[in-house]
A and B are shown apart, each in its own frame.
Chain A
Amino acid sequence: MPLLSNPNRVSSRSAPTRPPVMVQLKAVSKVYSNRIPCLKHVNLTLRRGDFLFVIGPSGTGKSTLLKLLYGAEQATTGQVKVAGVDVGALRGDRLAKFRRKVGIVFQDYKLIPNRTVADNVAFVLQAQGRRQREIQRRLLPTLKMVGLDHRAEALPSQLSGGEQQRVSIARAIVSTPPLLLADEPTGNLDFENATQILRTLQNLNGYGATVIVTTHDRQLAMLSSQPVMELRQGQLQPLRGPTTHPPGYEQNLSGVANTPPSRTNSQGLSANTAKTLG
């Protein structure tokens, strides 16, 4: 389901029937070759349109959890399913095709330094073998969505850290994947930029994408109203469920999500949500 096509749905929680399961971890354990267990018997179920923060100090296996979801690592035991697909069983081209349905954002952005913002984003679609016309059709709206359409021809080195991270978000969502994974997306950013990135991610969640964000910054996660789980000693423990929203937050977010995406919107959003977060 393209996330652009359903701008009115705020989250699964407001829908009358329960949306399909997007992410399912069943008794997943991961032990690396140094024999130190990284994940122990982890269970997790996310439905389409859910948003989840996974917090925990560095080295607790947050990245591993995400890697299991996009098939960069295999679970030692247990089963990892994304949109009904057993990710651990995928190899080669089937894994490649599966990854087109998952957007990934990294702490270090992983932008290509000698390509412009537009080229960095379009590169994804080219690498997937899409047509030029389709690339043109998707590029500008995506850049608008992260508020960077005016910097399309800039090189990554000419952008601030926050802007670079927004480029990497644009790259992750340009093929409209139903699942968006952000591995410490705010790790290199100051508070101002970090909250803006989180708002962008929440905004995308408002369009229907399932989003998982990892961070070591407990405070930042707790500032938002989204569910938070903590990864501690290889186990996922819920810190805050979806029911404990601050009053008025949902309303606030839905108001944001309903406005058409544009650069002014993202600035308006920042003012809006800054209030909420502040």
Chain B
Amino acid sequence: MLALINKIKYLLRETWSGLRRGGWMNWAAISTVMVLLFLFGICVQTSWQLDALLEHFGTQLEVSVYLEPETEGREIQPLVAELPYVEAVRLVPKEEAWPNLLRELGITDVTAATEQLEGNPLVDELKVVATDLQQISWLMNRIESLPGIDRAVHLNEATDRFGQIQQSLNGVSIVVTVVLSLTAIAVITTTLNLIAIARRNELEIMQLVGATKTWIVLPFMLHGIIFGTVGAGLALVLMWALRMAIAQILTTQTGFLQFLTEGLTLTPIQLHLLPVIVVTLGITIGMVGSLFAIRRVAML
């Protein structure tokens, strides 16, 4: 136990002396990580908020399927239910829909109206609930290719749009995250390499007096992890500040924006999950950066 504390003390001291050697290069590495994680965090957060907003708008997963006049809904219903991404299928027979429609139109005499039109003019309708918003257009195509189907309609245009925005946002955030991750790794590697060069005397002596490779490279690993953690911490502070500022602006608004605000709040789970994700990515980036640098260190 005592020996372990000793070793940890040694590692921390070596890491600290490396940090001091780094000077402003440390800031270069930390700020790059910070910018990366800030943008990454914003993307994740926005994606979650759009999810919440979609929920807020109601069931965006429902598709209305209108059958051809002579087709019986009862026959088609099991065929549709077998399709992938289908959660549930509800049949709305025309006998049920017709009086409802007339009632909505303010006509009370159903029999008279029916006679006037020489029968019920409506067709059977299926209400299909999909499991996945992304797959709705695919599902609609499949349904329309079935026999006896006139057309499938996705009523919620707004949710469709949001789905598209979310999808392109996901694409953008993946590109941004990958590019900035590479940048951050490069900056961390360069910083640690410079520190290794500044300390090459010590590293050489360590190798000559029989320090194991692990013992030599662990301080560099720790150094990289510190970059990641501190960068993540700063990014979280920035994100928190931004969220506060936006909330401040939105609370003074009314109507639709007020409605938006409710959609934009994160759930408690998300509030806890976000720091975990950001810090994990930060530590990973720091470790990968130091691993690249360590290959150089080991060769010194």
Contact = CB atoms under 8 A, between A and B. Distances in A.
16 contacts: A72-B208, A93-B213, A96-B207, A96-B210, A96-B213, A100-B210, A104-B209, A110-B205, A112-B205, A123-B202, A126-B10, A127-B205, A128-B211, A129-B10, A131-B2, A171-B209
Contacts of A93: 212-214
A122 B213 CA distance: 19
Nearest to B214: A93
B215 A99 contact: no
B20 to A, nearest CB: 10
B212 A70 contact: no
Nearest to B10: A126
- Give the one of B3, B201, B208 with max A CB within 10 A: B208
A123 B17 CA distance: 13
Contacts of B7: 129
Interface of B: 2-3, 6-7, 10, 201-202, 204-216
Nearest to B14: A126
Interface of A: 70, 72, 92-93, 96-101, 104, 110, 112-113, 123-124, 126-129, 131-132, 171, 175
Given A127-B215, A129-B10, A129-B215, A97 B210 contact: yes
Contacts of B204: 110
A127 B209 contact: yes
Main secondary structure of the interface of B (DSSP, over half): helix
A178 to B, nearest CB: 13
Contact of A96 (B6, B202, B205, B211): B211
Contacts of B6: 131-132
Main secondary structure of the interface of A (DSSP, over half): helix
Contacts of B208: 70, 72, 99, 104
B292 to A, nearest CB: 20
- Give the one of B205, B209, B212, B213 with max A CB within 10 A: B209
B210 A98 contact: yes
A128 B209 contact: yes
Contacts of B212: 93, 96-97, 129
Contacts of B201: 110, 112-113
A100 B208 CA distance: 8
- Give the one of B6, B202, B204, B210 with max A CB within 10 A: B210
Nearest to B199: A112
A99 B202 contact: no
Contacts of A70: 208
B1 to A, nearest CB: 12
